[in-house]
Structure 1
Amino acid sequence: MNKFRISFIITILGLLFLSYGCQNEQTPVSKERITTSNKIKTLNIQPKEFQRIVGWIDDKNVLVQLRKEGKVTFERLNVFNGKQHQIYETSHVISEVIISPNRDCFLIYSAESKDKAALDVISMAGSRMSTKQVKPQNIEFAWNQDDQNKMFLTTFDTDWNYQVFQLDIPSGNLVQLNTDSPFVSWYSDNLFIFNQKLSPQKDRGDLYLEDIRDKTIKNLVVADVYKFAVSANTLLTMEPSKDDKSMVYNFRTLGFQSYYQYEAPRVYDELGTFFPFYDLNVEEESFLTFEPYESKKLKDHGGEFKLVKVNPTEKKKETILELTNNEPIVISPNGKYCLYGYLFDQIIDLETKDISYLIQHQDKMY
């Protein structure tokens, strides 16, 4: 499923439902695989207050989103001792929250009304660093890892027409980019890379590199890829195998040279190639993804995967979990833990392979 189609659905659901504090029913991981780690603290947060864990602030703390007395609060939570500290509070409807690459601030995309929305950048100390008024719409965000003052905003309408903008965060200046694709990502402080497909429904496209300062030059980087990701000094491309029955994860240098390839079974659904969730932490030489057991058409997306950890530098792979659900994951900065689940309410210890709940687990959350 294409990333921007998933983001469109998530954003619309967020604008409609998050203001009422609703929680989706979660499908728990099999209880036989869950053990309680002595290191992780399970909190006594009321399910009706808990909305989600946004992501890692550092190796010990996460950003948690709660709803209390009609307002949404963001708090710093230490996952080892359970200490909480409120950072920011708002009465707006929250659509998206993104932690910055340096983890010293976060972006809140929220709606004050059906005609009024805002992009607010909040420091981890709780101060508003910048604000930008925008129209309520579906937006895909891409933060520049080398210059946190820059961000791409890709907007979509109901007919999947898109526009790409560059946002200068301190000034609030918004400039439209005439790109050939909505699948864009920063490659450095001024370079960006995009996947140009014949249509959004196509599985594959070609990667091009362009300079934000001179868009007359467009260089072909890699041809015929499904998807791509950029992290620090690594470009990861997901490509078809020779027989098209497998998917190849190709790790490339800044000069686009391949230095390691990892092959996994390719699965698909009614929308085409299905891409399991993954996360890439180049600093800790770790790539985490869900791997199907065989190449086939998926009947559903539960329990058909194993979670694997790949070290592209040492060319090693190990299985972390068997027969698990394909759900979002994000690795801690030190590479030792992983947030897991649609609400990130679980933590996987990547060394002991134990799963712990941050929030007291219930089969249903309202």
Structure 2
Amino acid sequence: MSKLNRTYCKNPMFLVLYLSFLILILGACSQKEQVKLKVPVKNEKPKSPVTSAIGDKWKLPISIPEGEFSKLAGWLSENQVLYITNLEQTSSIYRYNLLSGKNELIYKSEYPIVNVVISPSKKSILIHASHSPSEGIVTVIDTKGAEILKKSFQSYELGFEWNPFNETQVLVTKFAEDWSFQVLLVDLRKSTTSELDVPQPFIKWLARNEIAFINWDEDHPSSYAPLNVKNIVNKSEKTLFPSLIDFSTFQDLLMTISVNEQDQSVASYSFFDKKQKRLAVFSMPQLTRYSDWLVPFYDYNEQKRQFITFKPLSSGDADSYTDGFQLIIYNLKNDSSSLVMEGLDNEPMILSPTGEALLYGNRFEKIIDLDAKKIYELINE
């Protein structure tokens, strides 16, 4: 027997103290090991990687070089927008890079600019300037400011529709002061203008040589009417749908809005390919006005096949509706919808080329990062 063991046997108190010391040492070691391993708490959520929103990279608000801000005109690319400024009786068009914060003057008009319409390919810009209350000057330029066409139209107001299938053609609707109208086909390549025999002023291109319009009957006013299609070459005309509220066309898509047959308080949005095959449909509450229906603003991104619009929370009278609108995205690829934001006003919108951002507001003075769901002010006024 060793000398230490003999000591334990002879002195029981020493044995108790020794064992207590060992327990303390082992307990401390065990605690240190637990601290080292740091076993996670059962309900502890792992930290997600920090990602920066696209909007946080934008250089905002825009610093206006000269004059007063009038409005945004639209997108030239994913990171470039056009805006208009006014100085006394002149107007200017600037290109602004959201990432670099660089302003670039691309056109100066000696008359006030009423409207700017960017072509579908973003390669051309149509400018409507007002020389007098009864005359409009239309100038088409490229994105560097070089003039392609300039024409004067005797009119009280003008409407425009680029042909997305052939951008050398633009429909120009001339309104007189009594709202009588003429529809003109302007050929940019030939610098020619020809009148079209069309019964309605608000027209959209359905194909390269086909235009579409809702054929409202002035003698028998109604809140819906048939959608007609006319070939501008052979003059043939046919009815596509017998009863619609509104419609829109895109290069790969036709969208129609109709009253739900089972419930008049609901609007049905249908999407068709170019052969009129229905691809998808969804419904949402409908707001009524005195003589028609309120169609909330919308846009469509062909690249993502996503339709974005404002959705009211309930049906009812548009004038008394105060509950705000949800901004929703409907995905045609998988027939699903998602909520972006809510509590917004129903105001005009333009999607960016990739569908990542949205110009928003009556002057497009706001921009929404759709992924981060954040609104940024473009102008500090």
TM-score by length of 1: 0.84
Q: Which residue type is aligned with residue 286 of structure 2? A: R
Shift of 1:214: 0.5
Q: Which residue of 1 aligns with 2:57?
A: 39
More displaced stretch, 339-348 vs 68-77: 68-77
Q: Which residue type is aligned with residue 88 of structure 1? A: Y
Deviation per CA, 1:87-121, whole angstroms, max 9, x where unpaired? 01112121221001111111111122345431100
Equivalent position to 1:276, from 259, 274, 296: 296
Inter-partner Cα distance in structure 2 for 1:114 and 1:160: 14
Inter-partner Cα distance in structure 2 for 1:110 and 1:205: 34
Deviation per CA, 1:291-344, whole angstroms, max 9, x where unpaired? 000110023576521111111121111111111101000000001000000111
1:46-125 matches, cutoff 5 A: 49-68=68-87, 70-125=89-144
1:203-242 matches, cutoff 5 A: 203-215=223-235, 217-242=236-261
Higher relative contact order (CA 8 A, sep 6+): 1
TM-score by length of 2: 0.81
| Structure 1: 4+ residue segments shifted above 4 A | 300-303
User: Cα RMSD between the aligned structures?
Assistant: 2.1
Equivalences, count? 326
Q: Which residue of 2 aligns with 1:260?
A: 280
Give unpaired runs (5+ residues) of structure 1.
Answer: 1-34
Report the 3-state secondary structure (helix = DSSP H, G, I; strand = E; otherwise coil) of the residue aligned with 1:101.
Answer: coil
Shift of 1:158: 3.5
Inter-partner Cα distance in structure 2 for 1:348 and 1:326: 14
Report the 3-state secondary structure (helix = DSSP H, G, I; strand = E; otherwise coil) of the residue aligned with 1:125.
Answer: coil
Q: Which residue of 1 aligns with 2:213?
A: 194
1:302 and 1:125, CA in 2 relative to 1: closer, same or farther beyond 3 A?
A: farther
Q: Which residue type is aligned with residue 306 of structure 1? A: Q
Q: Structure 1 residue 339 and structure 2 residue 359: aligned?
A: yes
Contact 2:308/2:330, CA 8 A, preserved across alignment = yes
1:39 and 1:199, CA in 2 relative to 1: closer, same or farther beyond 3 A?
A: farther
Deviation per CA, 1:167-222, whole angstroms, max 9, x where unpaired? 1123332111111322311112211112112129532111122211101x212211
Contact 1:196/1:207, CA 8 A, preserved across alignment = yes
More displaced stretch, 192-201 vs 89-98: 192-201
Q: Which residue of 2 aligns with 1:298?
A: 318
User: If you compute each CA radius of gyration, which structure gives the higher value, 1 or 2?
Assistant: 2
Percent pairwise identity: 26
1:12-23 matches, cutoff 5 A: none
Shift of 1:269: 2.1
Q: Which residue type is aligned with residue 338 of structure 2? A: E
Report the 3-state secondary structure (helix = DSSP H, G, I; strand = E; otherwise coil) of the residue aligned with 1:306.
Answer: strand
Q: Which residue type is aligned with residue 195 of structure 2? A: Q
Q: Which residue type is aligned with residue 105 of structure 2? A: Q
Report the 3-state secondary structure (helix = DSSP H, G, I; strand = E; otherwise coil) of the residue aligned with 1:86.
Answer: strand
Inter-partner Cα distance in structure 2 for 1:175 and 1:186: 16
Give unpaired runs (5+ residues) of structure 2.
Answer: 1-52
